[in-house]
Amino acid sequence: MTELLENQDETPEKPVLKILYQDEYLVAVDKPSGLFVHRSYMDKDEIYFALQLVRDQIGQYVYPLHRLDRPTSGVLLFGLSDEVARLMGQAFTNKTIQKTYYALTRGHLLGEGLVDYPLKEKLDKIGDKYVDPNKEAQEAQTYFESLDIATLNETVGKYDSVRYSVVKLKPVTGRRHQIRRHLAHLRHPIIGDINYGDNKQNPFFNQYFGFKRLMLHAKTLNFTHPITQKPIEIQADFDQQWQNVFERLSLNIAELSD
């Protein structure tokens, strides 16, 4: 019992993030699911943050250029100076940076299209306490393309099979939880989404595949370098959990990664 209590008090080993791209102006890492980008009022029990980890790994201050929700994995980009951060901020505002995500969703979502569905801003009770709660819904667009579908002959609730889709997504706008909310709007919520997902499918997925997470991955970031003006593409591979899901559902990772 004493040994168990001692282990509970131990500080988790400091993660080392995979660097996907680095030059004298920018650095990009592969953020794992479950890691906050930076400190917030929600993180009182957290020890490590992506911003801190990247700073310590490369030995200099970094500027976060965009946001990935804690449960989302994939490409996370930082600037290495305030000037680069300013230029990249303009690029994000002007929508000249293209982000490509992959999601595993409930049900068989077929075809492709544009979800053009305005979203009311999601407010945090503490972080957004001074924001007008009556603010009108903001325009929000997300392109989606269904890449493949799969079926498990397992009974969940009133259904005698479990259906999944792998969906490629390119957000045009950048509203909070936009991809998650747009897929829920299509009635194909992302697996593992505790805010907008399926409270029967999520527990089944956790038990069947042996892990619990949001199945949303920021796969690719394309942009023009703010200094060199060269086209840059940064990719984060699917991690082992994603690969295990693809294998068990007999989906071809190579084809889905194109």
List active site positions. 69
Burial 157-168 (b: 16+ CB within 10 A, else e): eeeeebbbbbbb
**Residue 68 in tokens:** 């990935």
Q: Where are the beta strands (DSSP E) in the chain?
A: 18-22, 26-31, 63-64, 73-79, 98-106, 112-116, 141-152, 162-171, 216-224, 231-235
**Residue 2 in tokens:** 């004493």
Q: Is the dihedral of CA 192, 197, 199, 200 positive or negative?
A: negative
Contact of 76 with 68, CB cutoff 8 Å: yes
Any residues with CB less than 8 A from the CB of 71 and at least 6 apart, and which?
A: 33, 34, 192, 213, 214, 216
Q: Which 3 state secondary structure label does DSSP give 239?
A: coil
Contact of 17 with 57, CB cutoff 8 Å: yes
